Amino acid sequence: NEYQKPSDNSDEENTHEEENVSEEENTSNVDQAQDDEQCDEVVSLTPQYINARQKHIMLSYQWENQDLVEQVYQFLTANDFSVWMDINGGMKANIYECMAEGVENAAAICCFMSPKYEKSENCQQELQFAKTKRVPIIPCKLQRNWEPSGWLAGLLWMDFRDINNSNFEKKAKKLMDQINVVLGQQDVL
């Protein structure tokens, strides 16, 4: 399961206490959790997520779907998310260095899956690098009557099939909600 679920901590006092915990204490907590082999349960406590304001949401896609992903970019930035997209300043010189930098500075990656995405070596390299860096991945399936296979098989995906002007906002809001779940808190970026 690619989604990182935050622990359900609805106690208001605990929430305020967590806000006052220093980054060093959180790092210590994460180190302890790793020792206990519980790292997946505390991903949202790592400095990477605590400092998410310095990070961005990366949009990974195959250029055939650039127009749709550009709409998602506009929606997320209008909702105060910091978003990395190659055509909006993400690419500067060397494509591979820029993609690596995009992944390394990502709080999460939204990948927009399609048959051409699945066949793209660059898209595959992005997600494989994201997995090695433990960056949460939020797959969005774009095409009906197609099942991801190979390196995309088995991913739990969000439904972006049959997206159009009348349902775009509803689907984009669901994506935004999932980003917040993956990050483990509301209004992170």
Find the helix packing angle between 121-132 and 95-104, rounded to 10°.
Answer: 40
Task: Tell me if 59 sits within 8 A of 73, measured CB to CB.
Answer: yes
Tell me: the pLDDT tens digits for 2-16?
443 333 343 433 333
Cα–Cα distance for residue pair 141/21, rounded to 1 Å: 38
User: Between 96 and 152, where is the model more confident?
Assistant: 152
Tell me: the pLDDT tens digits for 125-140?
988 999 999 999 999 9
Give the per-residue pLDDT at 93.
65
- Tokens 């180190």, located at residue: 31
Q: CB under 8 Å to 46, separation ≥6 — which residues?
A: 26, 27, 30
Other CB atoms within 10 A of residue 117 CB? 25
CATH architecture of the domain with range 55-183:
3-Layer(aba) Sandwich (3.40)
Pairing state between β 106-113 and 83-84 = unpaired
Tell me: the pLDDT tens digits for 72-126?
999 999 998 999 888 765 555 667 777 788 888 899 999 999 999 999 998 999 8
When pLDDT is cut at 50, 70 and 90, the band that residue 27 belongs to is: very low
Residues of the chain with CATH 3.40.50.10140: 55-183
**Mean pLDDT of the region 48-75:** 82
